[in-house]
Every structure is written in structure tokens, then in C-alpha cells.
A and B are shown apart, each in its own frame.
Chain A
Amino acid sequence: MSLDLTKVAAKVGGMVAKLKAGGAERQERLNYALDVLHNRSIDLDHLKKKIEDSKGKTTWLVAGLVDGLDRHYKAPSTPTEFTILATDGSHIDVDRHKSTRCYLINIGSVILHYGAQSGAALDSFPCLYFGDEDLVIAPAGVGGREQLIEGVLLGIKRNVEECHQLANLAGELSQNSLTLALLDGSLILWGLEAYPEFITEALLTQGFLHYLDDIRKLNNGKRLALASYISFPRSTDVVNVLRVAICPHDPPDCDRYCSPGEKRDCDTVAGVRDRELFVNLLGQGERSDVFISQSSIVRKHYGVHQVCFFYLRVDNEIARVEIPRWVATNVSLLNLVHSLVLDQCQRGQGYPVALSEAHEQAVVTGADRENFWQLVESSLVEEHLSSLTSAKSQSKRTRWI
């Protein structure tokens, strides 16, 4: 039996009605947040210190301030000759109902040269992982349980491989043109927070950050910026700065001053997202101030790659562009990111064309998955190896009454 939509329809109606009823209140909160944002009487130095002092004491993530809060910057002119590199990935997860434990990561890569010598190279790099060292991450010493690479952890490994491939592309680039290396999604590997330290060491320090370092070092000979692009972000880091500004306590300490369930002063901006603030603040093509992510994983591990970000307006959408500190503090690289990300969005109907092509190269469809497992199973049969699958997987394939 497929999903009974008639039963769901009534619930959808209820959901819409609730959203409609809350519309006026949300607008009121947004207006208040904008008032606070524009409030010239906010002492930025004091606010910076208040944010610094509140570290670890708030229940929400607060952006660090670099310069201001509500300034906006027009896009610098786009260079005539430049190159965009981008990678994206998709994967086929381990299937515990199959006889073989293995997974596949497919990385799509794109090189686009613009200018007099325009050209493109689109490619994909599927890689099958099946060895013990690929399937688990084990702690270095004794003690600690090894972790299977599947599900969330495989998603993180894929992020690492995307960055690896991007570093390879950047390294092979012979031309001396201005280059932007683009990743899709966040530079912050959020999922790692749930895992033991040795996983962070293996995937972040020796993986993701290592490859970011490779890219950073290439800046000796050429001008190469790195950024990641988040479309329609849900983050509230900047709204949470406003919460700190509103908070009557200095320094703020949620656990100490505000008991759970109690109405707080900062709830006057609750539910507002950064993108709603900036869609009211930024003109077409403009970027916001640069902010710093204060997430604990960034603070503990990222070092020179500390994640900074700004918001960028592209038509009616606000995108979050994340950059490592070495890009954020280099004005020419920062401007390069601003102008080239915007240019990519304009060429790509609102989304960076290099990222959408990298996705097209990487994508693994449902049919591809089926074909992959069939190939694995038929190869096992050919070699007279057991290709037993679970009864559950069989029953899904051959449906009966």
C-alpha cells in the first residue's frame, strides 16, 4: 500500500493554518530584530566583549564579530580571466542486508575557465571501499570502540573526499589565473561532535583540514581562494548576536539567569533566521559583514582554517558563504570570493553553476544503486562466492500477497 494522501491532507491543512496564524507574530519579531540590528547606540566593542564573555554560557550558537553587524558591501568587479573549481559527492551506503560490506563514494569535479581561453573539464571519480581499513576507524591505542563507517560517518567521509579532490584539482592547476575553489554545504563538519576524539583526528585533522592546508599553501604561487556555499541557510548565528545584545545580564548565562520554560527577554527575536534579517538589509549582489563561527568544533580544531562567513544576496535568496580565516583576512581573496560566487550564481540561474555541474557529475540515482548492487551480486555469483541477502531485502524486491 502506498502512502494514503487523503489521510495526510487534513494534517497538512492544520500545519498551514498554524503557520498562517503565527505570521503576524513572526513579522513582529523580525521587525524588532531589525530595529536592534540597526540600533546605532549599540557599542560594538562592548558587544564583542559580551559575546566573548558569554562563550559556552548560552544555549545557542553566537557569531563572533569581526567588524560590524549591519554593514553591506557592493560586489567588486568580476575579473575578466578566472577559473572556478568545484567538487560535490554522493555515495552508496553500506547495506547490512547484503552479503558484502562495502560502500561507494562518487566525487564529481568541475573546472571552468572563463575569459579569452574559456574551457571546461567535467569528470567523476567513483571509488569503492571494501577493505577493513576503509570500513572502520579504530582508535590508535588500546581501549575505545572502533567505529563503522556508515550512515552519518560515511557522509562526513564523503565531505573529506570532496575536499581531497578539490585540493587535487587546485594542485594540478597550471595556469596562474585567479581561482576560486568551491565546495557545497558547510566547511564545519558538524556531525563529528557526536563521535569520539579519534574520529575527529582521523577525518578532520588528518583529512579535511589537511586538504584545506594543501589548498592554502598553493597561495604562494597563485591567487587561490576557497569557499563553501550554503543555499537557503537555516542558521541563526547573527540573530543570536542580537540575543546577546538584548540580554539584560552581562555576561549572559542562560543556565544561571533563565530557568527552562521561563519567558526570556531575548525570546523577542526567537524564531527569526539570519537569512530573514539579511534579505531586508542587503541589496542585489551585496554581501554582509564577515562573522566568525564560534562552534566548539571550529574553536578546538580548525586553527588557521577557523570558519568565517558572510551572507550574500542573489536575487531573492540569501546564501551563506563560508570561508576559512586565511581567506577572510586577505581582502583581495575575500573580494575574489564575493565577486566570483556572485558571478557563478548569475550564470547558474541563482545557484553556482560549477556546483550544480559538479552535482550532476556526482549524482547516484536510485537506478544506479540497483545496478551497482546487481553488479556486485552477479560478480560474486560468477566467482562462486556466497551472495546471500537477507530475507527482508528479498521480500522488498519480490512483493507478494
Chain B
Amino acid sequence: MQRAGEVIEASTTDFMAQCYELYQSPPFGSLVKTRDLPVELYGVVYNATTTGLEPGRRPIARGKDEASEEDIYRSSPQLLKLLRTEFSVLVVGYRENEKLYHYLPPNPARIHGFVYLCSPEEVREFSQSFDFLNILINTHLTVSTEEIVAACLRQMSQVYEDGHAFLVAAGKELAILLSGEFNRLKAILGRIKT
């Protein structure tokens, strides 16, 4: 299981994790999980940021006299220790006693809980039901929900032999969920077209 980071902020609906290595955030839209045994929480990565470690210290441009971007890090080796990459995850379901639920868990994630990238088998298992799409569609975030839904479905489709069939099935589900919102449906379908 690939460890992607560690929870540093958590609420019922989402959590934020810090990566162990700079710029090593899981891809936008990917399915990740964290444990609060016996419960496993599943979520979709909806945002990632790389900023200064301390709020008061902003990075400054350093490359004027450097030949390449790598040279900037070579001549200021401390930079890698002063920046951090974080990613935010929208909780879309959980597993308890071997059973999967596609709605919010009873408790938020634990601080310092490890966050893992889900294996292809887990992604396949989780995406057997499209019930989690309802949470994604009804969320209010800084990133547009159409972008998140489309990115999530694109990521999931990669673990299927017939990714196209998966996306068609997801599109049909979305057509029901967004029956009164043609423009949103169109925006998502346009982003998952293969």
C-alpha cells in the first residue's frame, strides 16, 4: 500500500493531509483512504497546495542568476525543508466490518492518521456503486464540483479494462442525478469524454 501522507486537519466532511515528500501529492481526483480502526475512511483528492512551512514566511523568487530550476534547490538546499505540500480530501464513504458505505462516516479522520493511495482492486470495489457521486455533486468547494467529479471518474476509469464502459455507466448515473441541471451535466460529460 502506497503511503501518500498524514492527516493534519480533519472534519466530518473532509480532511487535509501533509505529504512526506515535497510535490508528491496524489493526483487530483484520486481515491485515498485513512484508518480509524475498525473504520476505514475513503475520500477523493480535491485540492493540493505547496506553500511555506510557516504562515509568515513566503517564498521569494530566487532564480534570476540560476541556469535551471534544479540549481535553485541546489544553491539553497534548505528550501526542501521549508516548504510543504498538502492535499485536501473530500470524504465519500467508509468501510466497517468488511462492508462498504457510500455516505459519510460516523466520525472524522484521526489527526496523524496515515493516508494511503487506494489499490486498483479497492478502487474497483468502491466504484461498484455510484452512490458516492451524490456527495461529490452536492459539495461546495473552491474547486468546481464538475472538475472534481470528472477528475474522479477519469481516475477510476483507469483501473477498468474497459474504462469507456465505466464512464458511460457513470454518465448515465449523472444524467439521473443532474436531471434538472443540463449545463452542469454537460460540463462533466465534456470532461470525461474518451
Give the residues in chain B near A398, CB-CB below 8 Å.
none
Closest to A116 in B: B74
> Number of B interface residues, CB 8 Å?
12
Closest to A119 in B: B77
CA distance A110 to B80 in the complex (A): 13
Check if A2 is an interface residue, CB within 8 A of chain B.
no
Q: Mark A119-131, 1 if CB is under 8 A from B, else 0.
A: 1111000000000
Chain B interface, DSSP helix/strand/loop, else mixed: helix
Candidates B54, B75, B79, B80; contact of A114 at CB < 8 Å: B75
B78 near A112: Cβ-Cβ < 8 Å: yes
Check if B138 is an interface residue, CB within 8 A of chain A.
no
CA distance A302 to B75 in the complex (A): 36
> Number of A interface residues, CB 8 Å?
13
Check if A347 is an interface residue, CB within 8 A of chain B.
yes
CA distance A206 to B36 in the complex (A): 52
Check if B130 is an interface residue, CB within 8 A of chain A.
no
A112 near B77: Cβ-Cβ < 8 Å: yes
CA distance A119 to B75 in the complex (A): 10
Chain A interface, DSSP helix/strand/loop, else mixed: strand
Q: Which of A250-273 contact B (CB under 8 A)?
A: none
Task: Identify the interface centre among B73, B74, B76, B77: most chain A CB within 10 Å of its CB.
Answer: B77
B81 near A122: Cβ-Cβ < 8 Å: yes
A118 near B74: Cβ-Cβ < 8 Å: yes
Give the residues in chain B near A112, CB-CB below 8 Å.
77-78
A120 near B74: Cβ-Cβ < 8 Å: no
Closest to A123 in B: B81
A353 near B81: Cβ-Cβ < 8 Å: no
Min distance, Cβ B80 to any Cβ of chain A, angstroms:
7
B78 near A122: Cβ-Cβ < 8 Å: yes
Check if A184 is an interface residue, CB within 8 A of chain B.
no
CA distance A110 to B57 in the complex (A): 18
Check if A162 is an interface residue, CB within 8 A of chain B.
no
CA distance A347 to B57 in the complex (A): 17
Give the residues in chain B near A110, CB-CB below 8 Å.
78
Check if A91 is an interface residue, CB within 8 A of chain B.
no
CA distance A354 to B62 in the complex (A): 16
CA distance A120 to B81 in the complex (A): 7
Give the residues in chain A near B78, CB-CB below 8 Å.
110, 112, 120, 122, 353, 357
Q: Which of A96-148 contact B (CB under 8 A)?
A: 110, 112-114, 118-122
CA distance A122 to B73 in the complex (A): 15
Give the residues in chain A near B54, CB-CB below 8 Å.
360
Give the residues in chain B near A113, CB-CB below 8 Å.
77
Task: Identify the interface centre among A110, A120, A353, A360: most chain B CB within 10 Å of its CB.
Answer: A120
Q: Which of A360-380 contact B (CB under 8 A)?
A: 360
Q: List 8 A-B contacts (CB under 8 A).
A: A112-B78, A114-B74, A118-B75, A120-B78, A120-B80, A357-B82, A360-B54, A360-B57
Nearest 4 CB-CB pairings of A with B: A120-B77, A118-B77, A120-B78, A118-B74
**Additional pairs, 8, CB under 8 Å, beyond known A118-B77, A120-B77:** A110-B78, A113-B77, A114-B77, A118-B74, A118-B75, A347-B76, A357-B78, A360-B57
